[in-house]
Structures are given as C-alpha cells and as structure tokens.
Amino acid sequence: MKNLEKAFGPIWELYSNPNIHEIIIDSVDDVYYEEAGKVINCEKQLFKSSEEISDLIYRLIELSGRELKKGQHSINFVINESTRVMCVLPPLSIKGPILNLLKIPQNQLSWSDYRKFDAVDEEGEKLIKKIIGDNKSLLVAGAVGSGKTTLLNLLVDTIDPDYRVVTIEKMANLLITRKRVARLQTENSHVDELVGLVESARYLRADYLVLDDVQGPETMPFLQLLHEGHSGMMLIGAENIFDSLRMLELKALSSDFTGSLEDIRYSISSALDYVVFQEKCEDGKRRITRIGKIINEGDKLNLDIIYKR
C-alpha cells in the first residue's frame, strides 16, 4: 500500500476514494474526476509544474512493469489488473503531459445487481439469458462511459459454466471470476498484435470466444474464426445500436482482407446473431436499452429490434 501511495503521490487521495471511478489530468491546472456518475473539477492545486505530472507518469509506468521506449510519447497499460492508464507526452500533447486513470471494477455484478440498479428489467434479462443459452453470438455495444465493459463481464459470466471461454484483450481489461477461462493479452498493447492472438485462440478449443474492444486489424480474422463453429462475443464503441454495425464494418475494412464490402457484411451477419446495446441515460444510470437481431439486406446490414426500453 505504501508503494502505491508513493507512486500515485499527489493524486493518491483521489485514487484511494472508492467512489471515484476515473481521474483525468489535462494540464497542471485542469484536473477533474468522475464520482458517482458526475464529472467534478478538482479544487485543490495538485501540481506546480508539468514536470511533476511527468514524474507521476514515469512512477506509474515503473509500477506497471512497462517501459517507455526512446522516441515513444504515448503509452497505455494496466496496474495490478485494477487500473487502466493512458498517458500522452509532449510534443504529442500541446499543454503538457496528459494522464487518464480508469479504475477497473473489482466487484463482478450479477443479474440481481443489474435489476437493483435498474440497468435491466425482467424481460431483457430473460431474453439475453436465452440468447446465450442457445449459444448465439453477440455484438455488445455502447458509447464511452456507458458501462459496456461491465455488461460484457456479466455476459461472459452467464455462459454455461461447463464451456471453455477464451478472451482476447489488447490489455487486461475484463473482470472475470468464472472457471474454465483462458485470457490472452498483447505483449506491448499494440493493435497489430491482436491478429496473432486471434490465431493463437484458434487452437485453444474454445466453446466461446470473447474479443474485448474491437480495434480493426483483428476484426475479419475473428469473424472468420466464429464461422468455424465457435460462439462469440465482441465489444465495440458506438453511439446507438444501428451505429454499432456501421462501426463494425469500418473496423473490418481496416483488416488485411481483400474482399468486398458485401463480403464483409456477409461475414458479420453469418458470424453474429444479435446486438445488445447499453447506454448512459440522462438520469446518469446505465441501462440495456436495445437488443436487435442482425439482418443482411444485401446492400446493407439492418436490425430487427426485439427489445426496447
């Protein structure tokens, strides 16, 4: 604990507050955080200079066991599987070093928790459980801050406990407590490394494959892997449920794939069955608001909305 307190230094008080979910440092006098769903400006002057922010960043990098290579001005990493960190240094950042710290939830939420928080109703829960029970494949979507990763954690936990699950993660980001799970992560948090992980997953005899946070190059290899008989889940950022399919098409186009857009749409509709969309509502609560069945109409992908809240 003392090593953590020393490493986090001036932001330790914020970081150790269990109600604070995220801390953002844009410059010396621009520090804010998210607490209980609200973004709050930090009233205290935590830093006197940009150098103090840089020192904090280097301490956190050392704590994570990672290394900032010569000529590298941005890095993201995970500390103790509990905090995701993103840093950008000058000259890429104009006003000085930038630091984002996002706490990874350490308590796995259950379906009863979701109902208690009004994140799902009985109809939505039953529908999702049936979809997963039927071994269907899902695209899990939501905007930034919607809680879509927390939802993915819950869905993975809903998979039949006798099934083997293999996750593919750019960096350790999921909270999974179930047995029979193999987790893969990239060595250096590079997007291109995900393609190799997908290839490794091919030989791990998975019943369910889970791709955390679709990046691009790995999209088509992952979809093709689902074609081979695996069930799967993919996580993607999107503003609404229909946008999620457009975003997946764009990600697939950045794969090393020489086929047409029509081929990509066929692959998506053949590999995935449903989209589950979660959003942060105006009252600050996160809710599962849409579930749609994917339909290939030839010139475009569409959704038959089977659940709406």
187-233 residue pLDDT tens: 877 888 999 999 999 999 999 999 999 999 999 999 999 998 899 99
- What pLDDT was estimated at residue 186? 87
Backbone angles phi, psi at 66, to 5 degrees: -90, 175
Let me know: does 169 contact 183? Beta carbons within 8 Å.
Answer: yes
Let me know: does 307 contact 138? Beta carbons within 8 Å.
Answer: no
pLDDT digits (tens, 9 = 90+) for 84-106: 899 999 999 999 999 999 988 77
Let me know: does 27 contact 99? Beta carbons within 8 Å.
Answer: no
Let me know: does 294 contact 275? Beta carbons within 8 Å.
Answer: yes
Q: What is the average pLDDT value for the chain, to the nearest integer?
A: 93
- What pLDDT was estimated at residue 1? 61
- What pLDDT was estimated at residue 3? 79
Beta strand extents in the chain (DSSP E only): 20-27, 30-35, 38-41, 74-79, 83-88, 98-103, 138-142, 165-169, 181-185, 208-211, 231-237, 274-280, 286-296, 301-308
State the span(s) of the chain assigned CATH 3.40.50.300: 111-308
Which residues of the chain fall below pLDDT 50?
Answer: none
- What pLDDT was estimated at residue 142? 96
pTM of the predicted model as reported, rounded to 2 decimal places: 0.82
State the span(s) of the chain assigned CATH 3.30.450.370: 1-103
Would you say domain 111-308 falls under CATH 3.40.50.300?
yes
What are the strands of the beta sheet with 38-41, ordered from one edge? 38-41, 30-35, 20-27, 98-103, 83-88, 74-79
- What pLDDT was estimated at residue 182? 96
CATH number assigned to the domain with residue range 1-103, chosen from the 4 options 3.40.190.10, 3.30.450.370, 3.30.565.10, 3.40.50.2000: 3.30.450.370
Of residues 50, 59, 60, 14, the one with CA closest to residue 33: 14
